Amino acid sequence: MFVERGVLAAETGKAVDEASEPLVLLVEDEPLIRLATADALRFSGFRVVEAANGDEAVALLRSGVRPHIVFTDVRMPGETDGLTLLSFVAENAPFARVFVTSAHLTPDEAARAGLFIQKPYPAERVAEMFKAAIRENDSTN
């Protein structure tokens, strides 16, 4: 049972989301990968908010978007890479579980990455991992 609703305040400043689907904030700068992943997650029952880079993800979180899951690439253009976003979420959106993805991580990046999913990934498997993480969160809260 997914108990927390996504609260989407990006446009009007008020909550606009009444859906019960678990919410994923997907942060990926490659549009075709982002689209394929978002499609697969939606097909698996998630609601997906797409961010084209870490800066957009920060803007969404600051606007009031409350995802269950943040799924982020590591290397992206802009001021906020995936690992910086990981720190931002830990401080400002601790309710969200963060999964990091990349084709390759340096040892230093790997040490900071936490929950890591190697690229390329089967999106259906990723959806199962997210559902398990949310169930785990629900059972501990």
Partner 1 sequence: MTAQTDNAAECVLLVETDVLARFPLADYLRECGYKVLEASTTDEAVSLLNEPSLPVSVALIDARAAGAISGFALAHRIRGERPGIDVVLAGSTADAVDSASEICADGPALAKPYERTQVLDLIKRLRAARDRQS
Nearer to partner 1, 40 or 51 (CB): 51
β-bridge partners, 72: 27, 100
Smallest gap from Cβ 141 to partner 1, in A, equals 26
Label residue 112 exposed, middle or buried (CB < 10 Å: 0-12, 13-18, 19+).
middle
CA 5 to CA 25: how far, in whole Å?
13
Nearer to partner 1, 1 or 32 (CB): 32
Q: To the nearest 5 percent, what fractions of the chain are helix, strand and coil?
A: 40, 20, 40
Which stretches of the chain bind partner 1, using CB under 8 A? 8, 10-12, 16, 18-19, 31-32, 34-35, 49-53, 56, 59-60, 63, 65
Nearer to partner 1, 65 or 86 (CB): 65
Smallest gap from Cβ 77 to partner 1, in A, equals 10
